[in-house]
Amino acid sequence: MRRILFGIFAFFLVVSIAEAGPGGAVRCGKLLDVRTGKILSNQVISFDGDGVITSVGAEAAAGSAGTMIDLSNATCLPGLIDVHTHLTGDPSSSGYAALGISVPRETVTGVKNARLTLRAGFTTVRNVGASGFTDVAVRDGINAGEIEGPRMLVSGPPLGITGGHCDNNLLPSEYHFRSEGVADGPWAVRAKVREVIKYGADVIKICASGGVLSKGDQPGTPQYTLEEMKAIAEEAHKLGRKVAAHAHGTQSIKDAIRAGIDSIEHSSLIDDEGIALAKEHGTYLVVDSDNDDFSLQEGAKAGMLAESIEKEKKIGRLQRENFRHAFQAGTKMAFGTDAGVYPHGDNARQFAKMVEWGMKPLDAIQAATLSAADLTGWGGKVGVLEAGHYADVIAVSGDPLANVRELESIKFVMKGGVVARNDFAAK
Ligand SMILES: [Zn+2]
């Protein structure tokens, strides 16, 4: 009997070793604890073969199997999170130029951008809006280990009203074109929520107000009604999904918060009442504060409509002023860039803009780690370097609290214990 038990035990031991592998460790000269803002010295992050952290602590305490990666001259941080990306889109084609790009071609663009984004230090993204479920395909390819990229939470096509920001209004009526996320009325929007979930959405993206890049609407104008957004939020939450609402307009921001939407994207024209409502409901604001300059400089070349450039000029500065106001008032904020409208891989450039408009470097870093993890629903898995979380580690040479622009030149990236980039090792 003993023998049999030992045999079974040995069998499981072998199987578990074969499945889990030896894991490894990273030695960090300095490590930023994003919860406290303290920089700790000589820390070792150990992880198992599943890429999950088993311990973080002073070097002496760590007895780790597997390889040790030496980052003695670097500062480690948790992998960054961008909660507003469009990996399957590029800023180089806007307006009518974008009509010539097929859905399969967008997937290939997504493969390219997933790699760029990961190598820029973003080990998790929430992708909010893609046509043809291209984002689902990219996510699944990454999860299967076929292509390189961040952990992805994806929405598929965004929901919107007929003729609104999430429809495509470029073609005349004889083409009978409508975007696949278009749905009007409380029951139609519920059905659309069910449909995007059926095809792989982890999160629901909607267009509550008009937008900058859409033809024929205004960012400040409401699109979805309170009644429609209540139906969306209720249906999505029932099915275990959060909702992100594109909302520039003052009224739409308030309607979306009252409807129970989880995050307000852009939040450009938020007023004091909207800020108070966001605080009361615990709604996250995701303010893409760095892409305006890019649109104004490069938009025309990319085919951006003249009306879009005019809209951008009017809204950009107001958005930044309202970002500062909302942050100082104490709203929850998560880091999102709208990469896709903005070059992929430049995501970290937004940190400096957030600091310019009122945040301390630690606040901006927390928005891209702790807060973003909470918004994605993956708190406990990503966003901090602690046991039980994925070994998603990045490193820079300098001190990101002294100069947040250090994050624009990340030299080491590890996702789930697998190194995606190590410029420290390269000679
Ligand atoms: Zn967007």
User: Which structure tokens are listed for 154?
Assistant: 């994806």
What DSSP letter does each residue of 125-192 carry, written as one string? Answer: EEE---GGGHHHHHHHHHHTTSS---EEEE--SPBB-TTSTTS---S-GGG----TTB--SHHHHHHH
Confidence (pLDDT) at 64: 53
Candidate list 48, 217, 338, 392, residue with the active-site label: 338
Q: Evaluate if residue 51 carries a pLDDT over 60.
A: yes
Contacts of 6 (CB under 8 A, 6+ apart): none
CB 139 within 8 A of CB 97: no
How far apart (Å, rounded) are the C-alpha atoms in residues 220 and 247?
A: 8
Condensed to tens digits (0 to 9), the pLDDT of residues 4-24 reads 444 444 444 443 444 456 899
- Please indicate whether residue 356 or residue 15 has the higher confidence score (pLDDT): 356
Q: Evaluate if residue 333 carries a pLDDT over 90.
A: yes
Q: Evaluate if residue 301 carries a pLDDT over 90.
A: no
User: Which structure tokens are listed for 316?
Assistant: 């950009």
Question: What beta strand segments (E) does 369-417 contain?
Answer: 393-396, 412-415
Q: Give the residue among 414, 396, 392 at the shortest CA–CA distance from 406.
A: 396
Mean pLDDT, range 363-383, rounded to an integer:
98
360 in active site:
no
How much distance in Å is there from the Cα of 86 to the middle of ligand 1? Answer: 7
What DSSP letter does each residue of 295-338 carry, written as one string? Answer: HHHHTTTTT--HHHHHHHHHHHHHHHHHHHHHHHHT-EE-----
How much distance in Å is there from the Cα of 24 to the middle of ligand 1? Answer: 37
Condensed to tens digits (0 to 9), the pLDDT of residues 77-122 reads 999 999 999 999 998 888 898 999 999 999 999 999 999 999 999 9
User: Where residue 63 falls among pLDDT bands split at 50, 70, 90?
Assistant: low
How much distance in Å is there from the Cα of 336 to the middle of ligand 1? Answer: 9
How much distance in Å is there from the Cα of 340 to the middle of ligand 1? Answer: 8
290 in active site:
no
Mean pLDDT, range 170-175, rounded to an integer:
96
Confidence (pLDDT) at 222: 94
- The fraction of the chain above a pLDDT of 70, given in percent, is 93
Candidate list 30, 192, 205, 411, residue with the active-site label: 205
CB 28 within 8 A of CB 74: yes
CB 243 within 8 A of CB 261: yes
If you average pLDDT over every residue of the chain, what do you get? 92
Pairing of strands 67-78, 393-396: antiparallel
pTM of the model: 0.93
How much distance in Å is there from the Cα of 420 to the middle of ligand 1? Answer: 26
Condensed to tens digits (0 to 9), the pLDDT of residues 187-205 reads 999 999 999 999 999 999 9
Condensed to tens digits (0 to 9), the pLDDT of residues 274-286 reads 999 999 999 999 9
Mean pLDDT, range 361-366, rounded to an integer:
98
How much distance in Å is there from the Cα of 257 to the middle of ligand 1? Answer: 18
How much distance in Å is there from the Cα of 15 to the middle of ligand 1? Answer: 45
| 359: exposed, middle or buried (Cβ count in 10 Å: 0-12, 13-18, 19+) | buried
How much distance in Å is there from the Cα of 266 to the middle of ligand 1? Answer: 8
Pairing of strands 80-85, 412-415: unpaired
User: Which structure tokens are listed for 67?
Assistant: 């390889």
User: Where residue 155 falls among pLDDT bands split at 50, 70, 90?
Assistant: very high
Condensed to tens digits (0 to 9), the pLDDT of residues 194-251 reads 999 999 999 999 999 998 888 888 888 999 999 999 999 999 999 999 999 999 999 9
Q: What is the radius of gyration, based on Cα positions, of the chain?
A: 22
How much distance in Å is there from the Cα of 245 to the middle of ligand 1? Answer: 10
